[in-house]
Amino acid sequence: MKLNKNFKNLKENYLFAEVSRRVEAYSSAFPNSDIISLGIGDVTIPLSLKAVDACKDAAIGLSTKSGFRGYGPYDGYAFLKNAVVDYYKMRGVEIHADEVFVTDGAKNGIGNFLDLFDSDNTVMIPDPVYPAYVDANILAGNKIVYVNATEENEFLAMPPKKGKADIIYLCSPNNPTGAAYNKEQLKQWVDFALENDAVILYDAAYEAYIDDKSAVRSIFEITGARDCAVEFCSFSKMAGFTGVRCGWTVIPMASPLNRMWLHRQAIKFNGTSYVVQKMAESMLRGGYEDSKKMVAAYKKNAKIITDKFDALGIKYTGGIHAPYIWFNCGVDSWEFFDYLLKKARIVCTPGSGFGKNGNGWVRLTSFNSQERTEEAIKRFEPFWKEFIDVRDKLFTAVR
Ligand code: MLT
């Protein structure tokens, strides 16, 4: 038996597994410490009762002759696909139900999509970025080229003047930086993809957090995107489904990827459960107002964090179109992580875990409760003042 040799090219742990490992080590050493997680982007607001009612109704239905369901369609039930079509229509974007594929979340959708490509492709990925893209491509043995997202371009990587790509990953609003593309910026990526005969794999998992019309919610708002893009979306952050698991992928019908993905799903996936799809449908129909309230509550937490950062003069991005605040600590990100945990018992995510340009930066999420976010920020203020005093003496500077 020969193991996948690409495994050895991965870091020892996936980013969030490493964060958990360090937090667990700290908790076992100090079992009574009250740790607040502003680390992994996991939601805390309980599910909408609309979703719970849909779940109950579907489950009861399954116990009846007429409501029983066995295997579902590989691409998802029509009731959910149509709800997704209407969700796009509400924002002026026309897609067809045959272009919608229900998944068990955007992460799986994006990772599994690599099954459709040859390993002889050049994959372009912004740095910093959600680490699952990079790690999935390392596992597949693909050639990766990075495009820089830095303070200079407000953490929005733009197409390089020179250079070629076959597959391009974009995430907007961005995880981890919270930055979001506007129409002109995204049009440059679409033009670049069309010139290169490339596909854009567009992660729109945080689109519900977009505040105004200047930022783009779907790449299909951009002329030309139907000829080069695939969009991944999720109920996780808009409806609290991180544990429930449901998402969707939009693949234009004219693309060969549409039929290939259906074929791939038929081989490897028997669909998201009927009950979960009913819950998801409820959140795009009668439960949509509840979803908007959840998003608004997380954005309120983001504002609690950014107000304090403004007062402390901390440099940051995000928090407006996204549940992430990305701030500059100016020192090695893992050293900062350990210090913040030790001194304030707050968990963050070190920026270097998202790529080399992330070193010196830190990500906080607004997904904890308002009470815990307020408590974290109360602890953060004295912590930060003390940190500034010792920063030059104790830490590895990153400028
Ligand atoms: C994150 O913290 O980056 C996300 O929650 C991870 C994910 O969505 O898989």
CA of residue 42 to ligand 1 center, whole Å: 7
**pLDDT the model gives residue 212:** 82
| C-alpha to C-alpha distance for 302 and 298, rounded to whole angstroms | 6
**CA-nearest residue, atom 7 of ligand 1:** 41
**pLDDT the model gives residue 163:** 87
CA of residue 242 to ligand 1 center, whole Å: 9
Pick from 130, 171, 367 the residue to mutate for probing ligand 1's pocket: most ligand atoms within 8 Å of its CB: 130
CA of residue 70 to ligand 1 center, whole Å: 31
Question: Cβ < 6 Å from ligand 1: which residues?
Answer: 40-42, 107, 130, 175
**C-beta atoms surrounding 112 within 10 Å:** 18
**CA-nearest residue, atom 5 of ligand 1:** 41
**CA-nearest residue, atom 1 of ligand 1:** 41
CA of residue 88 to ligand 1 center, whole Å: 23
Q: What is the dihedral of CA 257, 215, 247, 72, to 10 degrees?
A: -60
Pick from 37, 40, 245 the residue to mutate for probing ligand 1's pocket: most ligand atoms within 8 Å of its CB: 40
CA of residue 36 to ligand 1 center, whole Å: 17
CA of residue 123 to ligand 1 center, whole Å: 21
CB distance 103 to 248 below 8 Å: yes
**CA-nearest residue, atom 3 of ligand 1:** 41
**pLDDT the model gives residue 88:** 98
Pick from 19, 23, 42 the residue to mutate for probing ligand 1's pocket: most ligand atoms within 8 Å of its CB: 42
CA of residue 175 to ligand 1 center, whole Å: 8
| C-alpha to C-alpha distance for 199 and 92, rounded to whole angstroms | 23
CA of residue 138 to ligand 1 center, whole Å: 19
**CA-nearest residue, atom 6 of ligand 1:** 41
- SS3 letters across the chain: CCCCHHHHHCCCCCHHHHHHHHHHHHHHHCCCCCCEECCCCCCCCCCCHHHHHHHHHHHHHHCCCCCCCCCCCCCCCHHHHHHHHHHHHCCCCCCCHHHEEEECCHHHHHHHHHHHCCCCCEEEEEECCCHHHHHHHHHCCCEEEEEECCCCCCCCCCCCCCCCCCEEEEECCCCCCCCCCEHHHHHHHHHHHHHHCCEEEEECCCHHHCCCCCECCCHHHCCCHHHCEEEEEECHHHHCCCCCCCEEEECCCCCHHHHHHHHHHHHHCCCCCHHHHHHHHHHHCCCHHHHHHHHHHHHHHHHHHHHHHHHHCCCEEECCCCCEEEEECCECHHHHHHHHHHHHCEECEEHHHHCHHHCCEEEEECCCCHHHHHHHHHHHHHHHHHHHHHHHHHCCECC
Q: For every one of its 399 residues, what pLDDT tens digit does the chain have, with 9 covering 90 and above?
A: 999 999 999 998 999 999 999 999 999 999 999 999 999 999 999 999 999 999 999 999 999 999 999 999 999 999 999 999 999 999 999 999 999 999 999 999 999 999 999 989 999 999 999 999 999 999 999 999 999 999 999 999 999 998 899 999 999 999 999 999 999 999 999 999 999 999 999 999 999 999 888 889 999 999 999 999 999 999 999 999 999 999 999 999 999 999 999 999 999 999 999 999 999 999 999 999 999 999 999 999 999 999 999 999 999 999 999 999 999 999 999 999 999 999 999 999 999 999 999 999 999 999 999 999 999 999 999 999 999 999 999 999 997
**pLDDT the model gives residue 276:** 98
How far, in Å, are 14, 26, 130, 158 from residue 365 at the CA level?
A: 18, 20, 14, 25
CA of residue 258 to ligand 1 center, whole Å: 26
CA of residue 355 to ligand 1 center, whole Å: 15
Helix axes 274-284, 78-89, angle to 10 degrees: 20
At position 91, the amino acid (one-letter code) is R
- Look up the pTM and report it: 0.96
**C-beta atoms surrounding 264 within 10 Å:** 17
Pick from 14, 15, 16, 368 the residue to mutate for probing ligand 1's pocket: most ligand atoms within 8 Å of its CB: 16
The number of the ligand 1 atom at minimal distance from the alpha carbon of 130 is: 3
* Tokens coding 200: 């854009």
**CA-nearest residue, atom 4 of ligand 1:** 41
CA of residue 13 to ligand 1 center, whole Å: 15
